[in-house]
Amino acid sequence: MTKVLVAGGAGYIGSHACKTLAAQGFVPVTVDNLATGWAQAVRYGPFVQADLNDRAAMDAVFADHAPAAVLHFAASSLVGEAMREPAKYWRNNVMGALTLTEAAVAAGCLNMVFSSTCAVYGEQDGVVLTEDSPLAPLNAYGSSKRAIEEILRDFGVSNGLRSVIFRYFNVAGADPDGEVGECHRPETHLIPVMLEAIDGQREALVINGDDYDTHDGTCIRDYVHVTDLAEAHVLGLKWLLDGRESRVFNLGTGSGFSVREVISHARAATGRKVPHRFGPRRPGDAAVLVSGSRRAIEDLGWSPGHSSLKRMIADAWAWHKKGGYPG
């Protein structure tokens, strides 16, 4: 069976990708330092606890497992934190990716699927973002991901590394079977924070600004189900294993929802009120980020079939009530 190195396989998106990989006959070998991931989330293949910046540990993983490809999820990924601690983002994200890529190339593993982000685009006048939109990140999270995209292109020229770069929009939901789900400490993402407020685990959801230039004043995002994202990664992996060229794909649905709209969907999905109040804007936030995802649908054959807001909130709510991980 084909082994795949999954950097960050103990995290939210990586663990779902491992489940989909295993279901499709691959062996996901998780490498994770557990800084934000969970050992309990590693259920579908071997686990190596190591930091991507540890070159000797990376060389050993490639020697021990001879993976056919790398799926690289491991990163710091919070906009608010990136505004306060940019060094963390440059060190963890860029240096970690560089060390991993050097080790992969040295081992002759020349296929990489990389988790990038719509934050590489920044603010672009309310247009739907395509893969050809200019890159203008507003925060160190987006800047660090743009830098890694460039590293992968450079290694493509120098060493023949081929990459599929996925620019994710807003990932949400949980495994429909409830085996893995979203679990951040502390939690900052809109949907899980909202569910904590519904459940009385926090006093209220604080809406980050209601004076944006959008129809209701709150930020608009394009939410995509984590299971659909995981399926895209297996398609990207197969794309590379079929010998196809490096490519960038957006992963979103093309439909944007404001924070207020997400709240009203959550009320409908859970049958409960969402305690909320308004706070200031969060520095580094773009008003609107909506994906043009035709390329992934047409070229990769991707179909975001789980990504209705209703379904994403229902799956996240089921996971929340189950109280999965830690302990």
What residue ranges bind ligand UDP (CB under 6 A)? 79, 170, 188-190, 193, 205-208, 219, 221, 259, 282, 285
37 vs 209 by CB, closer to ligand UDP: 209
CA-wise closest residue to 81 among 5, 184, 156: 184
**Residue number, 28 or 137, with CB nearest to ligand UDP:** 137
Half-sphere CA count of 54, side-chain side, radius 13 A: 14
Residue 256 Cβ, how far from ligand UDP at the closest point, in Å?
A: 11
The minimum distance between CB 289 and ligand UDP, in angstroms, equals 7
Return the SS3 of 231.
helix
Do the bridges between strand 111-117 and strand 162-168 make them parallel or antiparallel, or are there none, so unpaired? parallel
Strands (E), the chain: 3-7, 27-32, 47-49, 69-72, 111-117, 162-168, 170-172, 205-208, 220-221, 223-225, 247-251, 257-258, 276-279, 288-289
Smallest gap, in angstroms, from Cβ of residue 77 to ligand UDP?
Answer: 8
Q: Which of 141, 168, 223, 325 is catalytic?
A: 141
Distance CA 272, CA 268 (A): 7
Cβ–Cβ < 8 Å for 128, 245 = no
- Which of residues 7 and 193 has its CB atom nearest to ligand UDP in the complex? 193
Instruction: State the residue for tokens 């497992």.
Output: 65
How near is the Cβ of 141 to ligand UDP at its closest, in Å? 8
Residue 168 annotated in active site = no
Query: Taking a C-beta distance cutoff of 8 angstroms, is the pair 300, 249 a contact?
Result: yes
| Element counts in the chain: helices (H) and strands (E) | 11, 14
By beta-carbon proximity to ligand UDP, the closer residue of 13 and 259 is: 259
H or E element that contains 97: helix 96-106
Please state, in angstroms and rounded to a whole number, the distance separating the CA atoms of residues 164 and 250: 11
| Closest CB 242 distance from ligand UDP, rounded Å | 31
Nearer to ligand UDP, 84 or 106 (CB): 84
The one-letter amino acid at 221: R
Cβ neighbours of 57 (radius 10 Å): 17
Q: How many CB atoms lie within 10 A of CB 278?
A: 15
Shortest distance (Å) from residue 283 CB to ligand UDP: 10
Mind telling me the catalytic residues? 141
